[in-house]
A and B are shown apart, each in its own frame.
Chain A
Amino acid sequence: MPTLPAQKLRDDLLPPAPAIGTSILDELLHFACEALQLTPTLHAEADGHYRAVANWIGAEDSYFFGFDPDIYPQGSFRIGTTTRPILDNEFDLDFVLQLLDRGVKPLVLLEELEKRLRANKMYAPMVERLNRCVRLNYANQFHLDILPGVLDGTGTRIAVPDRKVAGWKSSDPKAHAAWFLSRGLTERFDKAAQIAPLPSIQTAAEKSVLQRAVQLFKRARDRFFQANCEIAPRSIVLTTIAAWSYSGTRSTVTAIYEAVHKMRALVASSERPIEVWNPVNPLELLSEHWNTNPIAYQVFRRWLDAFADDWDKLLAAKSIPEMQQHLASLFGDGIATDAIVKHAARIDDLRKGGSLKISTAGGLMTGSGAAAVVRPNTFYGDHD
């Protein structure tokens, strides 16, 4: 069964990415990512909820008090790739409740966590039991998933209870996040404190290209699988493949292009589902669901083909209306239009600031070597 190779595929095996319009596309994607962010208000609320829950679970009268509990964000919240839900659904925010190993049985851990949350009048009606975690539903805002795990003595690696197998599964979300962030060449994440502060809100401009690529992949996935979200490829799998494929390019357009084509090459190499492991935990198969659900894998392959096709069309787009059309098909009409409106506003600002110029070929540009500067004018128009 093919697995993600330890080394990157050679970049020169890829067809070259077309260059036309990629700088505009990169800017449009930048604005699209901005629209996918958690707003500062939501971020502050999530932060407040998370701290309150952490205090409740870690309090002196809690079952977990003696386990030296440490609660920290994992997944997209930790690595800066949260993605606004398509409808007014709740954001998924994932947290780890890390404990010392006191010899407790896996299902007992889940039961005790649920019991502790139900003992709080506010949390009791919000509790939902899931396979590996306990969820708190903050209506119309978030799901807060708390995954209990015990340190297994190997760095940050934890064993997490799994109801389906009635046993432990290995996981290392901290190491995975550190790996992801290093792949994106950013080191902006603080070491988790006892209750780690959430990573501060990032604007899309501060995000790495890899973070943006992951946000966009997830958004496109959410749209494609809107009616079948139970078989959608997991975020952690997409995130891992994108980070593994990342070549260090500064263009989001190119990063996605490369990731999609490398994914397709890998997928095409076998009829069996590919295996995506946590690159920093050899015991953690992230793509387990593809082995147990062949339909999910088939649909993933279809999505990948459709995505690659859409991406090629986007790269070949010659006009802003064409870009709008393909961006809308991938990420939604609102996101696409909003990005173009913001881009146009920026061009207008450049014009007003006197730095918009025209090349000898009659193209908009900034910088040196222009044929003319765009001087002040007032588009006048009366059609009647």
Chain B
Amino acid sequence: MTSYRSARALDAQEQHTRLVLFFPGFRRIARGNPVIWEGTVQPIGGTTYKIQIEHKRNHRPLVRVVEPALERREADIPIPHTFKTGEICLHLRAEWNSSRYIHETIVPWTVTWLFFYEVWRATGQWLGGGHEPENDESEQLEIESE
């Protein structure tokens, strides 16, 4: 797996400047720590999803779909690749660190995730690949060890 740990950590303002430059549909709705951005994406040019990206210093960004609400296919079967807190699971821990731009990683991964979510809703099959972690506690939400 590629390692991205060589570069220096980016601060919130650096992330913000690039994010809204490349994705003008995003705006910052909370400053400080964490910073929260809200914006819209349209994976297939149809449904528009409003999403929030919450970024606390030295943590991986959390992505929530605000609307339309994500829906299960069956009441007792969770949506694949989501945390029980409701955030969506986009990457392994080693695939992101604070030196990586959110607009180059988190946003494209979110759009791709939403595409495969729609496919899963339609077919019952998750076709976006990914990791099934079993009881791999180390991959749970936690402070990034840099």
Q: How many A-B residue pairs have CB under 8 A?
A: 162
Instruction: Identify which of residues 363-384 in chain A touch chain B, using a CB-to-CB cut-off of 8 Å.
Output: 363-364, 371-384
In the bound complex, do residue B89 and residue A362 qualify as a contact, i.e. CB atoms below 8 Å apart?
A: no
In the bound complex, do residue A380 and residue B133 qualify as a contact, i.e. CB atoms below 8 Å apart?
A: yes
Query: How far does the alpha carbon of A375 sit from the alpha carbon of B22 in the complex, in Å?
Result: 16
In the bound complex, do residue B90 and residue A379 qualify as a contact, i.e. CB atoms below 8 Å apart?
A: yes
Closest to B81 in A: A381
Q: A363-B42, A383-B82 are in contact. Are A372 and B123 (CB under 8 A)?
A: no
In the bound complex, do residue B131 and residue A381 qualify as a contact, i.e. CB atoms below 8 Å apart?
A: yes
In the bound complex, do residue A380 and residue B127 qualify as a contact, i.e. CB atoms below 8 Å apart?
A: no
In the bound complex, do residue A362 and residue B46 qualify as a contact, i.e. CB atoms below 8 Å apart?
A: no
In the bound complex, do residue B45 and residue A20 qualify as a contact, i.e. CB atoms below 8 Å apart?
A: yes
Interface of B is mostly: loop
In the bound complex, do residue A379 and residue B47 qualify as a contact, i.e. CB atoms below 8 Å apart?
A: no
In the bound complex, do residue B25 and residue A361 qualify as a contact, i.e. CB atoms below 8 Å apart?
A: yes
- Looking at the assembled complex, report how far the CB atom of B119 sits from the nearest CB atom of chain A, in whole angstroms: 4
B-side residues, CB < 8 A to A, are 2, 22-25, 39-47, 78-84, 89-92, 95, 103-105, 107-109, 111-113, 115-116, 118-119, 121-123, 125, 127-134, 136, 139-140
Instruction: Identify which of residues 305-337 in chain A touch chain B, using a CB-to-CB cut-off of 8 Å.
Output: 317-321, 323-325, 337
In the bound complex, do residue B103 and residue A362 qualify as a contact, i.e. CB atoms below 8 Å apart?
A: no
A-side residues, CB < 8 A to B, are 20-21, 24, 317-321, 323-325, 337, 340-341, 343-345, 347-348, 351, 356-358, 360-364, 371-384
Query: How far does the alpha carbon of A381 sit from the alpha carbon of B120 in the complex, in Å?
Result: 14
Q: A348-B129, A361-B25 are in contact. Are A384 and B122 (CB under 8 A)?
A: no
In the bound complex, do residue A323 and residue B122 qualify as a contact, i.e. CB atoms below 8 Å apart?
A: yes
Closest to B68 in A: A319
Closest to B128 in A: A379
